[in-house]
Amino acid sequence: MTSGVTGGVSGGVSGGVSGRYASALFELAREQNELDAVERDLGKFQAMLDQSSDLKRLVNSPAFAAEDQQRALKAVMDWASVGATTSNFLGVVARNRRLFAAEDMIKSFRQQLALHRGEMAAEVQSAMPLSDAQLAALKDKLKASYGKDVRLDAKVDPSLLGGLVVKVGSRMFDSSLRTKLMNLKVVLKGTG
């Protein structure tokens, strides 16, 4: 994990790229007093990526020409009523052939926003969507542990089978059933 807020979530080239793009979007949104609107729009885009394998393929595949990505992205942004700042930002990202790093840009933007608001950013993965009550309980638990308000980015990963994986900064708490079963498998192989 890259240190600092502008470094992005994943290391390497895309971490630096995603951090720089996210910082530029953050500064623009702050100057235009649109931080909340941009956050909502990025959330819409992330939700669409999570739900559509076709959109994910368009975003991640280098086989699509930049013009095709821009055209398709504009149609999706218009359909989802995404604001001009976010839509224009994603258009620039597509034109510059950096759309593959969009998810890291979103994570980096959320980290910067959390820092700006005096919050901590945390990611939670669960096998099934968590209810509002479960998310609130998790936020309360993390706030009690870290002494700060926590901004959660919740994702569903059915391969976990059950339980949670929570990432706060460089720390990860994995109570997923998948990991427990893999650990049991290792133990059983070692005793034979």
DSSP one-letter string for 46-73: HHHHHH-HHHHHHHH-TTS-HHHHHHHH
Contact criterion met (CB below 8 Å) for 167 and 122? yes
**pLDDT bucket at 170, cuts 50 / 70 / 90:** confident
Lowest mean pLDDT among 21-25, 79-83, 136-140, 168-172: 168-172
pLDDT score, position 83: 94
Of 54, 35, 29, 42, nearest to 80 by C-alpha is: 42
Same fold, 12-113 and 119-191: no
Q: Is the pLDDT of residue 72 over 70?
A: yes
CA distance 71 to 68: 5
pLDDT score, position 15: 57
Question: Global pTM?
Answer: 0.69
pLDDT score, position 111: 86
Q: Is the pLDDT of residue 2 over 70?
A: no
Higher pLDDT, 162 or 14: 162
Structure tokens, 38: 């941009």
pLDDT score, position 10: 38
Q: Is the pLDDT of residue 9 over 60?
A: no
The residue ranges of every structural domain in the chain are 12-113, 119-191
pLDDT cut 70: percent of the chain above it: 91
Written out in words, the top-level CATH class of the domain with range 119-191 is: alpha beta
Q: What is the mean pLDDT of residues 56-61?
A: 90
**pLDDT bucket at 8, cuts 50 / 70 / 90:** very low
Q: 12-113 has which fold?
A: Peroxidase; domain 1 (1.10.520)
